[in-house]
Amino acid sequence: MNLGDYEDSESLSRPVVLIRFDYGPGDADYIGYTSADRALEFDEKTYLPIALSHDNIRAGVELDRVDIKISLPNDCEAARLFSPMPPQGDVTVTVLQVQEGDTSLGYASALPQAYNLSFTGYVKSTQVSGRICEFTCETIAASLSRVGLRKNYQLGCSHVLYGEQCRAHMADFTYTGPALDVGTYSPLSAGSQDFVTIAKPAGRVAKDFLGGILMAPGPRGPEARTIIRASDEAPDSIRLVLNTTHPGLVPGAVVSASLGCPRTLESCQSIFNNAVNFGGFPWIPLENPIHSSFLS
């Protein structure tokens, strides 16, 4: 029987919704929910019962404008996945409409031959309101239609640090060791931010890590945070303040700190010995050759 046969049947029709969030490449890197009253197995994946709702899915010509909102309890695992920071990669969303079948006949799980793929895309944003976490999801077509980055005529380097155009090898400028101290830094103008103290690498100063990356173990594997402040704590240690909290920071945890880049030609050469790949235009004139005034 196909999906239409079940939906037309008054006795066998038991429509349920399956929603799957995939946050990693592994077979176990997913979170599955269903509107059914018990856990369901479908395509070798488990979907747990939960109170859920989503917008009506409308099919149109302009696929890049077909967005949906999914509402789940704010204490569910999917909501915690995006708190306090979203995962490093994209989180894909798959919404399936299935017919569970007549349980009195022994069909205890969703029938593979009776399903319809209603939506597939990415989580664009999340918003918590009261006890509800709302996921705004966009289609894959919408992500493909985004405008890419433009290269500007600017003094500073526009390359992604350690990226393909930068060509600096991240491993050569990454220092790994135990976290000597961790804590929370709470400035008045921002939310809570974690800090970690590490041993000072030989030949490096605190400011070399500004804009760098700190990797530490997380509940679902290594997680990265941006280093937004750095200061000397002692002659042999450095305190690194991160852009937000990190769930895996504990004293003694093995962390990796990578150097940041001030985006100038001088620092590109002195820190990374990589001036040949500098992506800026350092010889842009700063004075107007006609009026002899500084360019704004």
Task: Tell me the CATH number at 71.
Answer: 2.30.110
Same-domain status, 177 and 137: no
Does some domain include residue 291?
Answer: no
Does some domain include residue 284?
Answer: no
Same-domain status, 137 and 238: no
Residue found under tokens 């709302």? 134
CATH assignment of the domain containing 177: 2.40.10.170
Count Cβ atoms within 10 A of the Cβ of residue 137 and give its class: 0-12 exposed, 13-18 middle, 19 or more buried: buried
- Tell me the longest C-alpha to C-alpha distance in the chain: 88
Distances (CA, A) of 202 to 140, 199, 260, 265, 272: 46, 9, 16, 23, 15
For each of the chain's 296 residues, which pLDDT tens digit applies? Answer: 555 555 555 556 677 889 999 988 888 889 999 998 888 888 888 999 999 988 877 665 555 567 889 999 999 999 988 877 777 778 999 998 887 754 433 344 444 456 778 888 999 889 998 899 999 998 877 766 666 667 788 899 999 999 999 999 999 999 999 999 988 876 544 455 688 999 999 989 999 999 999 999 877 778 888 999 999 887 899 999 988 778 778 899 999 999 999 999 999 999 999 999 999 999 888 777 676 655 55
Domain count, the chain: 2
Residues 6+ apart with CB under 8 A from 183: 194, 195
Residues 276 and 258 sit within 8 Å (Cβ to Cβ) = no
What's the pLDDT score for residue 103?
43
Does some domain include residue 282?
Answer: no
Does some domain include residue 149?
Answer: no
Same-domain status, 131 and 47: yes
Same-domain status, 29 and 135: yes
What's the pLDDT score for residue 63?
52
Residues 6+ apart with CB under 8 A from 149: none
What's the pLDDT score for residue 110?
44
Residues 64 and 122 sit within 8 Å (Cβ to Cβ) = no
What's the pLDDT score for residue 85?
73
Same-domain status, 105 and 32: yes
Amino acid at 194: D
Residue range of the domain that includes 91: 3-144
Does some domain include residue 272?
Answer: yes
Same-domain status, 193 and 72: no
Does some domain include residue 288?
Answer: no
Same-domain status, 12 and 126: yes
Residue found under tokens 């042999």? 236
Residues 6+ apart with CB under 8 A from 209: 227, 230, 238, 240, 257, 258, 259, 260
Same-domain status, 115 and 78: yes
Does some domain include residue 152?
Answer: no
Same-domain status, 191 and 114: no
Same-domain status, 190 and 229: yes
Does some domain include residue 127?
Answer: yes
Same-domain status, 31 and 71: yes
Same-domain status, 135 and 9: yes
Dihedral of alpha carbons 249, 252, 254, 256, sign: positive
